[in-house]
């Protein structure tokens, strides 16, 4: 079935309180998608973000970001007073998230809700805690200890808790019981609010596409609680870390720094951790996009401590064995494979064996090479085509700055761009008319926004993940225009 959707992260939703949340704007966006004939809403990872504010570097692969808990909903539940959060300076620019102000102010407000709700919601919290015991206890202890140590990364904690000595774990859990309960309560609220949004979306014919990074952050409850599953030494320091090798765009390669999986250890445990990770993701989302799919075929290992990625080497990944195991445990899961980048025959073979749709990106199409796999006439049905991803520039700024004059003329001729239609709408038409089963574009491209609205610039450490949509931009006229284009190419849900 042909379909289409819009990519907009939760953090980008309009909000008077510094960042997008699961409040009224989320439900209104679902209404907009329904009016626009869209079947899919794609979001980025929902985990609690760490230093750098990237959703791809999270304190937990199972937990949710407390910033997304809506304060107005808490007030409606009697857990907050309006004057406890409406007078706070959450940032002065409605188009940008000020993460420093969120970090400094949000948790004190959430703690007020916790103090009012912990006794009232005791039974529900106990049930939540029991249901999610496999991860929430370690996560809450992790956050309690981290907070008590001024945010210090766990690999710098005192040895007894860093190494998870049983007596130390028991002592910290006893001493920090109230703090642990606070972090559990935030997850309880996060899960309640998120699944209310998801149920509403599903009832209105909108499926949620979520994102799962292949790697987890070193400074995460996942690594701290499961060190045996990662390539760590006896002191729990990484032996090798993730990245990608040098290429034309990055002569030193890219050094990501995430700890690598010990795939032999995962295999010996029947991939149990991965089963639970994907089970959680397919509960959160209707479809799961797996980032950096190529690393399941072969991954790039860089010696820990190297200053760049030039000294890395390739190692074999788990390949089809992992996905066969997941299928046996979970049944058929709706998965999109992020297969972008420099791929080899083994990756293409794994993608074909898995049956997962890969990705095509229009911004990668125009290099004057007619064999370019991203050109729409080279697409196939079993793929998802994008104007650009969260790592790409906006269409308008890409067109103005990234293409050579020759490639710009080539693209204009290929798509038959014209002023009457508008540049962004012509480029969107090229994506929507593709034979690909699913077409998606970021909300920035429908609104013809410039480079100031870019979500992320890879390898640039500051200024990312801040884009927010101003209220009032999602008009009925825009919804009608999107629905008309989607209907023309048989992608409309209406």
Are 333 and 288 in contact, with CB atoms under 8 Å apart? yes
Banded pLDDT at 342 (limits 50, 70, 90):
confident
- Tell how far CA 452 is from the center of its chain: 20
Here the tokens at position 51 are 């230093």
Average pLDDT value for residue range 28-53 = 96
Banded pLDDT at 368 (limits 50, 70, 90):
confident
Cα–Cα separations (whole angstroms), residue 217 to 52, 306, 315? 12, 18, 20
Average pLDDT value for residue range 103-126 = 97
Amino acid 458: pLDDT:
85
**If you write DSSP's letter for every residue of 436-484 in order, what string do you get?**
SSEEEEEHHHHTT--GGG----TT--SS-S-B-PPTT-S-HHHHHHHHH
Helix (H, G, I), strand (E, B) or coil at 213: coil
Q: Is the pLDDT of residue 85 over 90?
A: yes
Reference 218, options 168, 145, 296, 152; nearest CA is: 152
Pairwise CA distance, residues 402 & 254, whole Å: 21
User: CB-based contacts of 345: which residues, under 8 Å, 6+ apart?
Assistant: none
Highest mean pLDDT among 65-74, 337-346, 460-469: 65-74
Q: Is the pLDDT of residue 249 over 90?
A: no
Q: Report the mean per-residue pLDDT for the chain.
A: 96
Q: What is the pLDDT of residues 170-199, one digit of tens each?
A: 999 999 999 999 999 999 999 999 999 999
Q: What is the dihedral of CA 482, 484, 486, 492, to 10 degrees?
A: 100
Reference 9, options 60, 47, 58; nearest CA is: 47
- How many Å from the N-terminal Cα to the C-terminal Cα in the chain? 13
CA angle 290, 295, 301 (to 5 degrees): 135
Cα–Cα separations (whole angstroms), residue 257 to 318, 332, 461? 20, 32, 13
Percentage of the chain modeled with pLDDT above 70? 99
Give the dihedral sign, CA 296/301/305/311.
negative
Are 218 and 153 in contact, with CB atoms under 8 Å apart? yes
Q: CB count, 10 Å around CB of 344?
A: 11
User: CB-based contacts of 331: which residues, under 8 Å, 6+ apart?
Assistant: none
Amino acid 1: pLDDT:
82
Q: What is the pLDDT of residues 389-445, one digit of tens each?
A: 999 999 999 999 999 999 999 999 999 999 999 999 999 999 999 999 999 999 999
Pairwise CA distance, residues 106 & 102, whole Å: 5
Amino acid 179: pLDDT:
98
Here the tokens at position 71 are 């304060």
Banded pLDDT at 341 (limits 50, 70, 90):
confident
Pairwise CA distance, residues 246 & 419, whole Å: 40
The catalytic residue positions are 291, 338, 391
- Tell how far CA 340 is from the center of its chain: 16
Q: Is the pLDDT of residue 459 over 80?
A: no
Amino acid 250: pLDDT:
79
**E-state strands within 206-332:** 207-212, 240-244, 254-259, 287-290, 298-303, 313-316
Average pLDDT value for residue range 368-388 = 94
Here the tokens at position 156 are 């710098």
Q: Is the pLDDT of residue 246 over 80?
A: yes
Q: Which pTM value belongs to this model?
A: 0.96
Q: What is the dihedral of CA 293, 294, 298, 300, to 10 degrees?
A: -100
Helix (H, G, I), strand (E, B) or coil at 467: strand
Average pLDDT value for residue range 65-76 = 98
């Amino acid at each position: 079935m042909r379909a289409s959707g819009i990519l907009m992260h939760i953090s980008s939703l309009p909000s008077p309180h510094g960042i997008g949340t699961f409040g009224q704007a989320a439900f209104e966006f679902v209404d907009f998608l329904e009016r626009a004939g869209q079947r899919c809403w794609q979001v980025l990872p929902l985990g609690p973000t760490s230093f750098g504010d990237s959703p791809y570097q999270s304190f937990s692969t199972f937990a949710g970001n407390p910033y997304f808990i809506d304060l107005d909903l808490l007030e409606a539940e009697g857990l907050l007073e309006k004057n406890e959060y409406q007078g706070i300076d959450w940032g002065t620019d409605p188009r940008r998230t000020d993460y420093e102000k969120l970090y400094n102010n949000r948790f004190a407000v959430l703690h007020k809700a916790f103090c009012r709700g912990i006794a009232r919601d005791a039974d529900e919290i106990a049930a939540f805690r029991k249901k999610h015991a496999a991860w929430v206890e370690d996560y809450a202890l992790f956050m309690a200890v981290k907070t008590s140590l001024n945010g210090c990364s766990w690999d710098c904690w005192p040895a007894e808790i860093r190494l998870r000595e049983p007596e130390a774990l028991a002592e910290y859990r006893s001493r920090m019981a109230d703090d642990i309960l606070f972090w559990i309560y935030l997850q309880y609220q996060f899960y309640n609010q998120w699944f209310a949004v998801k149920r509403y979306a599903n009832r209105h014919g909108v499926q949620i596409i979520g994102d799962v990074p292949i790697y987890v952050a070193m400074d995460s409850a996942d690594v701290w609680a499961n060190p045996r599953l990662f390539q760590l030494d006896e002191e729990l320091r990484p032996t090798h870390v993730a990245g990608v090798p040098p290429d034309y765009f990055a002569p030193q390669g890219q050094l990501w720094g995430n700890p690598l999986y010990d795939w032999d250890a995962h295999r010996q445990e029947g991939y149990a951790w991965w089963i639970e990770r994907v089970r959680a993701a397919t509960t959160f989302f209707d479809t799961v996009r797996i980032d950096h799919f190529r690393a399941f075929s072969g991954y790039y290992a860089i010696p820990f401590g190297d200053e760049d990625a030039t000294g890395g080497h390739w190692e074999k990944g788990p390949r089809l064995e992992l996905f066969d195991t997941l299928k046996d445990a979970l049944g058929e899961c709706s998965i999109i494979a992020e297969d972008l980048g420099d791929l080899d025959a083994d990756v293409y073979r794994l993608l074909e064996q898995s049956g997962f749709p890969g990705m095509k990106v229009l911004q990668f199409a125009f290099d004057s090479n007619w064999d370019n796999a991203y050109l729409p006439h080279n697409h196939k049905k079993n793929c998802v085509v994008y104007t650009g991803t969260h790592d790409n520039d906006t269409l308008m700024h890409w067109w103005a700055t990234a293409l050579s004059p020759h490639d710009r003329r080539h693209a204009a001729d290929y798509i038959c761009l014209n002023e009457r239609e508008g540049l962004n709408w012509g480029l969107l038409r090229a994506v929507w008319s593709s034979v690909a089963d699913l077409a998606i574009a970021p909300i920035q491209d429908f609104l013809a926004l410039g480079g100031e609205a870019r979500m992320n610039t890879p390898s640039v450490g500051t200024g990312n993940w801040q884009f927010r949509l101003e209220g009032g931009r999602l008009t009925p006229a825009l919804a009608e225009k999107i629905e008309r284009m989607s209907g023309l190419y048989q992608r409309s849900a209406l």
